[in-house]
């Protein structure tokens, strides 16, 4: 059974998703020829950045509205190795939350569509003075409303 990183919320819309295609570069592998474990957060970032940009909510969009969204938590499960020149995909899923946080799940698959790595990240929302936002800012609440109404 697949582990659910973020529990299903009653009446919440389905996660938003986006898939990025990549190929392992030489600089990403270690001395034994597999992707170094510390590279996976940047792979997550590739999917998270593409997914959020698709909806006009990238880092700089938040910043322009006086909000920053640093990573609060990250988890990675390694299943199979990726090697130099392997092609793979990174699926990012944005999970619903009415809180002032961003919940992302990640699934990396090799060319054979085997799951090689899974994980998640949670970002909290702060104002530019690093005060934690308890309630999402208005622009994000409007995004949530469009998401819930199926207008994205």
Residues marked active site are found at 30
**Nearest-angstrom CA–CA distance, 119 and 121:** 7
Query: Residue 128, SS3?
Result: coil
| Cα angle value 71/4/10 (rounded, 5°) | 95
Q: CB–CB of 109/91 below 8 Å?
A: yes
CA nearest 23: which of 76, 84, 78, 101? Answer: 84
């Amino acid at each position: 059974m697949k582990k659910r990183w973020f529990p299903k919320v009653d009446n919440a819309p389905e996660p938003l998703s986006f898939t990025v295609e990549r190929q392992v570069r030489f600089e990403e592998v270690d001395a034994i020829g597999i992707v170094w474990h510390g590279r996976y957060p940047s792979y997550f970032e590739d999917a998270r950045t593409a997914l959020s940009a698709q909806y006009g909510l990238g880092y700089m969009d938040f910043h322009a509205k006086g909000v920053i969204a640093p990573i609060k938590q990250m988890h990675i499960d390694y299943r199979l190795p990726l090697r130099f020149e392997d092609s793979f995909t990174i699926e990012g899923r944005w999970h619903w939350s009415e809180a002032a946080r961003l919940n992302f799940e990640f699934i990396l698959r090799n060319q054979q569509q085997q799951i090689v790595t899974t994980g998640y990240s949670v970002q909290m929302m702060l104002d530019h003075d690093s005060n934690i936002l308890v309630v999402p800012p208005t622009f994000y609440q409007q995004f949530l409303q469009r998401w819930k109404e199926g207008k994205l």
